Each structure stands twice: as structure tokens, then as C-alpha cells.
Amino acid sequence: MVIKVYIASSSGSTAIKKQQQDVLGFLEANKIEFEEKDIAANEENRKWMRENVPEHSRPASGNPLPPRLFNDSRYLGDYEAFFEARENNAVYAFLGLTAPPGSKVGQHL
């Protein structure tokens, strides 16, 4: 199982950049393996992400925006879903992973 984080390296939105950094920083700090998939530099990544975000998770207009998280090809959610899981100490469950013994997954670093 590989956690995939779809990001946009050249996003003009500071909010998106901040959210992406928050997700990536959390995963790195907790030594959770993941792949970063840049939709700005790779058309295949952009196409794959857009096709695999479920209908009910898409914005009313326009395309789904990063960051978006997947476990292999299973859609996990967007930043809001990740943030909520982190606030509820449920990040490992959200990601579909087993929490390591003694982990404190909800704490800010």
C-alpha cells in the first residue's frame, strides 16, 4: 500500500501551497511513506487524479484541487478530510494504515 499525495508544485494559491506543505510535513515527520505526485509538471498525474476523485468529492464547478490523498488507487480525501482525521487522532485509520505502537498521531510537531 502506497500513500499518494497529489500536489501542484506551481500553484498560485497560497492556501493550496500551505495545505500541501501541511500534509507532506506531517507524513514526513511521522515517517509515513508516501509518493508525491505533481499534477502541475505531469499531465498523466493530473489526468489520473481528476478521473479518480469520486463524483461526490468533486467541487460543484471546475476540477478537484490538490492536495488529494489516495492509498494506491483508493481515494482517501482532500485536505479538509485529512485535517479532520488529524484533529481526531485518526490519521492512520484515515490513510488505511496500522498505527505504530505508542504513536501520538494527533499531536502537532
- Record the cell numbers describing residue 98, joined without a space: 496500522
Domains of the chain: 3-95 (3.40.30.10)
pTM: predicted TM-score of the whole model, two decimal places = 0.90
Q: Tens digit of pLDDT for each residue in 68-81? A: 999 999 999 999 99
Across the range 22-43, mean pLDDT stands at 97
Question: Given this model, what pLDDT does residue 16 score?
Answer: 96
Instruction: Give the pLDDT band (50/70/90) at residue 18.
Output: very high
The dihedral over CA atoms of 40, 45, 51, 57, expressed in degrees to the nearest 10, equals -60
Assess whether pLDDT exceeds 50 at residue 99: yes
The DSSP code for 57 is: G
Question: Given this model, what pLDDT does residue 105 score?
Answer: 55
The letter for the amino acid at 99 is A
